[in-house]
Structures are given as structure tokens and as C-alpha cells.
Chains A and B, each alone.
Chain A
Amino acid sequence: MSQEYATQRQSGGVTRRRFLTGASALASAGWVAGSAGGWLLRPERASAATPIKVGIATDITGALAPFGNANWQVAQFVVTEINQQGNILGQPIELRLEDTASDPKVAIGNVRKLIQEYRADVVLGGITSAMRQAIKDPIVNRGRTLYIYPQLYEGQECTKHLYCTGPTPAQQCDELIPYLIKKQGRKRFAMPSANYVWPQLLNKYARKVIEAHGGEVVFEEYYPLDQPEYSATIAKIRVGKVDCVFNTIIPPGLQPFVKQLYESGFQRDGGMISCLYYDENLLNYHPAQEMDGLFSCLDYFQSIKDPFSEGLQERYNKMFPGTKYLFTAGVASTGMYRGIKFYEAAVKATNGDLSREAVSAAIDKATLASGPGGGAQMVPGKMHCKMNMYVARCKAEGNKTHYDIIGKYDMVDPKEC
């Protein structure tokens, strides 16, 4: 973080991730290092039509690098497939990546390049809500460009021309929390949180649900994003006899917290953790045993056995063999998939008209018949979409994790705006 001083950049420049894995796949898919900058995916077939410019702004470096890299790979995967299947009405998609470096300060400058220099037709990206807040102004207001935000978040983002394709608190908490209270007998909740907007608003919502079902919030505390010491917190958990930790701490403070919690014997003594963005990708942050027994509620897990999702995973793994950035839901990659597919559907509906108003109106009514974990439907006028939700519990097997699905809920309403 960052938020240390002398942050990664002074201004105006950013480290680009080298693509160590799947480089050959990329080359065969037509990747070139863009001359004007960024990474450019030029469509394979030479085409007289001008390409549709899609800008991706995500965290390739910094504390959230595992999230951002997964997003980016999924974006490449989806766009390559679309281009191979005949483009969008004959117009190929071109992708350009700008690294937001897990730091809003740097991100603004880079996102501005997407708008001013690259003149993107649509921008997808941002992971933390803080990043979204920082970059939505240059994109939507100053840049007058369509923006699709793919990550789960705290809701209440009702800006025009800003569509959210990740789960909302209603979709995540409404089933998970009652399950924890009723079926797992959890009564005393702790809310250790990172100090920014997502945990704050999410906790407000979660608290309502907890208390409505008879639970109690023992404490709710906020820490700087890069806090390394959690002994005071763990002491409060022990003293307050907390039996369920509803965690909203994010990297870089996440790893020390989970490690210190695990070492204090919390899980060994029967405590449970729940964290709404945990999926298979979090192995990039922890050893598997620290996540054992954790509960999550997302729109997709790799253990879901439906043929479409399995097909997607297979083709993704073929394109990026052996990658450690998996196609999972907690890191916004399913939202990225949905976002690009919604955009594709919208442009087909407008018959190739790329103006923001037209595409926006079309996305508003768009539906996806299939996707990872199931399809999705935009709720007209509400900027958010319905999707299938799954409650799951993490099981550590050796040094891998596996999420056992406990419940499936069809086409849950986002209840936003």
C-alpha cells in the first residue's frame, strides 16, 4: 500500500506485469506489446472494420495483484473466444490493459490514459470499492465513457452508465448469515474490518441481518489497510467469546490477521470464519490450513458441476496452463466474464452502435443464458443483475482448497437502487 509513503510510483508511470505463464498461448492468440503503451490484444483476423476498444483497468501489481491478474487473464480469455467465434457483428474486440497498481493515486493517471489516449469505448475494472470510487470520475463523468464494475461490493452505486456485474450484500448475506446462525449455531459475531467504504456499508447491512435472526455483534472495528499487528483484536475475540468472525479485512492486512488468528487457536477451539470474497484463488495469499472451515457465499465455485462452467474452466486452463490465477468468483473474474458478455450482447442489440447512450440502454435489458455458475439477468433500471448464489465451505486437502457447496439459490435479486 499501500499506503506507505514513497508509494510505488511518484506519478505518471507504472510497472507492467510480465506474463510469465501462458506466454506462448498469448503469442498464438495474437498479442503484441502495444506501441502506444499497455498490452494490446489485436484481433487475429485482418479486418477492415475498426475494432471495438475495450479498456481493462485492474491491479496487476501491488497487494491485490492476484485478483487483478486473474481478472486480466479472464478478460483475455473471453475476448479471444468472442473474436474467434466471429467477433461482434464482424467488428473484432481490441483490449488494452492499464495497471491500477492497487493504489488509487496511480490508477487515476493510468485510467485517464485509457480515456484520453486510447479512447476506449468501454472500461471494465476496478476491484476494491475505493478503486472504483477513484476511477469512476475520470471514466464516467470527465471521460463520458461506459464503465462496468465486475467485483462484489457494498451496493449503493447507482451512477448512470456504471453497471455492476458482481454480487451485492443482499445477494451475499441474505442466505449465508441465517445459515450460520440457524444451522451452525453461531451467535456471537466479530467484525474486524479494513477501513474503507466496502466493509463499512457491508457491515451495516450484515449487522441488520445478524440481529434480525437473533445473533449479536460483539465488536466492529476498523484498521488501516496495511496494519500488521492484530494482537489487540485477537484478544477481544477471545475475551468476547466470539464464535464467528465476519472478516472484511483485505490484503495487505489480511495475511497477518488470518495467520495470527489461526495461531491463536481460534479454529482449533471451534471458532468459525466467514469472508465474502474468499474463493480458490486465495491460495495465493495463505497456506491452505489457515482457510480450512471458512464459509463463503459467491456466484460461482469451481466445484460446481454444470457442463457449461466445466467447459469454461477447461478452455481457460488450456489457454493458461499451470497458471496460479484461477477463474474464480471472489476475485471479480466471473464479474469480468459477465461484464464482457453483457457488452457483447448489448452491442449486438444496438446493431453495432457504440455510442454510450445506445449501448447503455441495451445493457440495461440484457440477459445471459449461461455463464460460470449460471446465467445472469440485468434488472432494468437498477444497474445490477440477478445471478445464482452458492453458500460454500472451504475444505483444505493437503495444500489445496476445495469448496463444498452447501446451498444453491437461483437468480437472487440484487435489491439495489
Chain B
Amino acid sequence: MLENVVTFAFDILSFTSVMVLIVLGLGVIASMMGIFNFAHGEFVLLGGYTAFLTQDAGLNPWWGIVLAPLIVGLIGLLLERSVIQKFYATPIIAMLGTYAIGLVIREIIRSLLGGHYKSVSEPWPGFFTVGRLDFSIWRTLIIAITVSVIIVSWLLLTKTAIGLRIRGSLENPMLARACGISTGQLYALTFAYGSALAGLAGALIVPLYQLSADMGLRFLVQGFLSVMLGGVGTFEGPVVGAAAVGALAASLPWLVLPVLADPLVFLIALAFVKVRPQGFVGKGRT
């Protein structure tokens, strides 16, 4: 009995940590600039694709994990400087614009993949045994990496000077600018950071879920809901939201028919947001 509980908890945890990584990036961008980045799923895809390319090039797969956030962060930065900063004034147009960007990225990768599904192997395959239970090494690593990323990000936000400036811009952009903080630079940095997180998430997930051009779409709607559920405007909000959605998605199939579980997660989340628009941990701009 205890075995089942432990396995269940581990499964939820590993599934959720993937969501958290993705949602963290999305939430950071939404909180900071007020736009929902519809291309976020495609940044995850780019991260996965980078991992695939490093494998294809014969390099050690760990390079994929390292390169993915760097490359995707860079791409995010370039996009932000060129196109995305035009959207900050109008969030709805931002959704359309980022959707278009996502479409372009997705179709480019689709043509590069030739419409096929590709397998990427885990840098550290296999499982380790504790007592009578087997735990996948890679999934454990994902949990570990996610936790570290959260801690590092939190430390960055609260303990560093730049973190202070970011929090200032979050709370009151006008005042921040008046104080001489270059919000433009911070936005660029934030967007790059969010994209890098997505890229990392992609590289981590792709050994589990296979690479295909439509990989990113799966996470997009869940990601948005998590952000809204958790509350836009804070750091903890998206994390809590992702944890909630992840837990819901992993546990519902045990309670109801799997057929219903999938859509039910979304409807429950949506209903919650409707009732409490500021989310779990909401404050700041909505």
C-alpha cells in the first residue's frame, strides 16, 4: 500500500515538475510584460529539437541539456528585440503575433523533421531501486533540476540587485522608469530568461515524450491555465498554478474515466479562474 502511495507521489511530482518549468517561463513573461506568449510551446519544441540535433551530431547528450536553454534564450532575445516589443501595448494583438511566430517556428521544424516522430535518448537512462520500487533516473533528475532552477531563480529575484530592479518593475513600471531603471532592458532579459526556461524544459522532456512538431501545443493551454490559476504578477503564482494543474491532471485519471479526466482538468481550472480572477496568489496586474 505504501508502495503505491510512493509511486503515485513520484509520478505526480515528475509530471508536475515538467509543467512547472514550462509555466515558470510563461508566468514570468506574463507577469512582467502583461502578454501571454503563444509561442512558448514552440520554445519548448526548440529546446527539444536542440537536444535532438546534438544527439544527431554525435555529441554527448548532456550537451543538449546545456545548449538548449542557451540557444532558445538567445532566440527569444532576438525575437523580443525585433518583433515582440511592439506588442506590449496591446495584449490581444500580442497573442495573435506570438501565435504567428509560434506557427512559423513549428512549421519550420516540421519541415526539418520531415513530418516524422523522432526519438531522443536520455542522457542518463535506466532506473535505480529503492527497496522494492524502481524509479526512473531521468525523471528523478528532472525533479532535481526543476527544484534547483526554482531555488536559483528565487534567490536571483530576492537577493540580487537585478532581482530588486525586476521586482520593482513588476510592481510599478512607471515608477521604476522614473527611478532610472531601464525597463526595456529588463523586459528583454525577462523574455530571454522565460524562453531559456522553456528550452531547458523541452530538452528535459523530449527523451520521455518523443519529438514531433506538435509537441509544444500540448503544453500551451495547460500552461496558460496554470498561469491564470496561480495568479499573474508574482513569482510563486505560476509555480503554484502549475503544481495544481499538474496534480489535477495526474490524479484525476485515478478517480474518473480517463476520457473525462483530460477535459475536466481544463474546465475546473477555467471555472476557478472565473470565480477568482486573480488566481491563488494573485496581486499586481491581471
Residues of chain A at the chain B interface (Cβ within 8 Å): 1-2, 4-8, 15, 17-18, 60-63, 65, 101, 195, 221-224, 226, 228-229, 231-232, 235, 239, 251-252, 255-256, 259-260, 263-265, 285-287
* Complex Cα–Cα for A255 and B253 (A): 20
Interface residues of B in 115-150 (CB under 8 A from A): 115-117, 119, 121, 126-127, 134, 136
Q: Say yes or no: is B40 at the interface (Cβ < 8 Å to chain A).
A: no
Q: Is B209 an interface residue (CB 8 A)?
A: yes
Residues of chain B having any CB pair with chain A under 8 Å: 4, 7-8, 11, 15, 103, 106, 110-111, 114-117, 119, 121, 126-127, 134, 136, 208-210, 212-214, 217-218, 250, 253-254, 258-259, 262
Given contacts A228-B208, A256-B208, A256-B209, contact A5 B115 (CB under 8 A): no
Q: List 9 tightest A-B contacts by C-beta distance, closest first.
A: A61-B115, A4-B214, A231-B11, A228-B209, A15-B115, A4-B217, A65-B116, A263-B127, A265-B134
Chain A residues lying within 8 Å of B15, measured Cβ to Cβ, are: 229
B4 smallest CB distance to A (angstroms): 7
* Contact between A235 and B7, CB atoms less than 8 A apart: yes
Q: In the assembled complex, which residues on chain A have CB atoms less than 8 Å from the CB atom of B7?
A: 231, 235
Whether B217 and A15, one on each chain, are in contact in the complex, defined by CB atoms closer than 8 angstroms, is: no
A-B contacts, 8 of them at CB < 8 A, read A6-B214, A61-B115, A223-B258, A228-B210, A229-B15, A255-B117, A264-B127, A287-B121
- How many pairs, one residue from A and one from B, have CB atoms within 8 Å of each other in the complex? 83
Q: Could you tell me if B217 and A221 are in contact, using CB atoms closer than 8 angstroms?
A: no
Q: Is the interface of B mostly helix, strand, loop or mixed?
A: helix
Beyond A8-B115, A15-B111, A17-B114, whether A265 also contacts B127 by CB under 8 A is: yes
Contact A4-B115, Cβ < 8 Å, known A231-B11, A232-B254:
no
B117 touching A63 by the CB < 8 A rule?
A: yes
Whether A7 and B214, one on each chain, are in contact in the complex, defined by CB atoms closer than 8 angstroms, is: yes
Identify which of A2, A18, A263 gathers the most chain B CB atoms within 10 Å of its CB: A263
Interface centre among A6, A18, A61 (most CB of B within 10 A): A6
Is the Cβ of A61 less than 8 Å from the Cβ of B114?
A: yes
- Report B-chain residues with C-beta under 8 Å of the C-beta of A61: 114-116
Q: B237 to nearest A CB, angstroms?
A: 25
A251 touches B218 (CB 8 A): no
Using Cβ atoms and an 8 Å threshold, which residues of chain A touch B212? 1, 63, 252
CB atoms of A18 and B214 under 8 A apart: no
Given A235-B7, A264-B134: 6 more A-B contacts, CB < 8 Å:
A1-B212, A6-B106, A15-B114, A17-B114, A224-B262, A287-B121
CB neighbours of B253 from chain A (8 A): 232
Please judge, given known A-B contacts A222-B258, A235-B7, A263-B127, whether A15 and B110 are in contact too, CB under 8 Å.
Answer: yes
Contact B4 A101 (CB under 8 A): no
CB of B136 within 8 A of CB of A263, answer: yes
In the complex, A1→B258 CA distance in Å? 18
Once the chains bind, are B134 and A263 in contact (CB under 8 Å)?
Answer: yes
Bound CA span A256–B15, Å: 14
